[in-house]
């Protein structure tokens, strides 16, 4: 797994004078609202539970009122019928919310936790955050609409990378490892404990997700992540950052997460950018991802 986080004002020299920052790894310590890259959880859960297929169609307007909020797609479009595959390919918020409503709050919460959100990854790096996932008893009226699109939940970069790795690994979540083994001066090898594994979704569901995420890169919002000669599965994300006082401001997190090649994946990578310009993950994080993964 490769993971990268960019933050405004970052200066490598800061690490020379601050013992605390020397031990801070933003990939495990910092949390952010993921936005659309989180839609894999909603979609994979709905596929696994059999409430939709990739070809299930929904009526999708460009705005949708639920409880006391109005949700918008990223751009205006006339009301249209969209399949689940098209909803993911075009990253429709309204369509994904409708998938989440069909799945239901109980199952959505179950799969959020199955994918590892709300828990430390097991990597064992100092200062790791478990992220922020509300107990379902504390959900408000709009939570069932916000969580499916990656709002109202905070994640670490390693959690997101591990979730995509689970899809790449035929639906099996594998505990990430920083160190495989240590070698002493006398040559003795001490291996790290075996990584925990758990089934998140079936291999069949993971295959369906791979097909849809491939289309995201082939002709959808992730087209700038294309690496010549490789078939890639991935998803863009663009999320407003929450304000300390509540609500959201005009500051954004952009991301792209994916794996390559689609068949027999070898590499999972995620790029998270804080306040990029332009704000869209497809225009900033995706080409950055392409550069890194293309080299790898």
Please identify which of the residues 36, 91, 92, 121 carries the catalytic annotation: 36
DSSP string, 16-84: HH-HHHHT--HHHH--B--GGGGHHHHHHHHHHTTS--TT-EEEE-SEEEETTEEEE-SS----EEEEH
| 36 flagged as catalytic | yes
Of 198, 28, 213, residue with least CA distance to 113: 198
CB 281 within 8 A of CB 36: yes
Q: Which residues, 6+ apart, have CB-to-CB distance to 252 below 8 Å? A: 238, 239, 240, 241, 275, 276, 279
Of 160, 164, 184, residue with least CA distance to 172: 164
Q: CB count, 10 Å around CB of 242?
A: 16
Instruction: Fill in the DSSP letter of residue 138.
Output: G
Cα-Cα-Cα-Cα dihedral sign, residues 80, 262, 167, 31: negative
CB 269 within 8 A of CB 292: yes
Q: Which residues are catalytic?
A: 36
């Amino acid at each position: 797994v490769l993971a990268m986080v960019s933050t405004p004002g970052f200066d490598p020299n800061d690490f020379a004078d601050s013992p605390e920052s020397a031990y801070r790894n933003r990939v495990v310590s910092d949390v952010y609202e993921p936005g659309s890259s989180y839609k894999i959880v909603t979609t994979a859960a709905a596929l696994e539970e059999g409430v939709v297929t990739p070809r299930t169609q929904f009526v999708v307007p460009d705005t949708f009122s639920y409880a006391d909020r109005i949700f918008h797609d990223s751009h205006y479009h006339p009301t249209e019928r969209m399949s689940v595959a098209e909803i993911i390919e075009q990253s429709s918020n309204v369509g994904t919310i409708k998938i989440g409503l069909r799945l239901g709050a109980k199952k959505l919460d179950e799969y959020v936790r199955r994918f590892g959100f709300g828990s430390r990854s097991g990597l064992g790096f100092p200062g790791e955050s478990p992220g922020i996932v509300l107990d379902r008893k504390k959900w408000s009226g709009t939570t069932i609409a916000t969580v499916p699109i990656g709002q109202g939940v905070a994640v670490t970069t390693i959690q997101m990378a591990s979730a995509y790795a689970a899809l790449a690994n035929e639906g099996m979540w594998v505990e990430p490892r920083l160190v495989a083994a240590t070698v002493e001066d006398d040559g003795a090898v001490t291996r790290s404990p075996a990584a925990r594994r758990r089934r998140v979704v079936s291999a069949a569901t993971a295959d369906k997700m791979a097909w849809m995420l491939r289309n995201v890169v082939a002709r959808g919002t992730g087209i700038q992540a294309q690496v010549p000669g490789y078939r890639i599965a991935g998803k863009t994300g663009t999320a407003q950052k929450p304000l300390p006082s509540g609500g959201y401001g005009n500051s954004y997190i952009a991301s792209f997460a994916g794996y390559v090649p689609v068949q027999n994946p070898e590499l999972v990578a995620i790029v998270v950018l804080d306040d990029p310009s332009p704000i869209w993950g497809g225009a900033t994080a995706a080409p950055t991802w392409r550069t890194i993964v293309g080299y790898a």
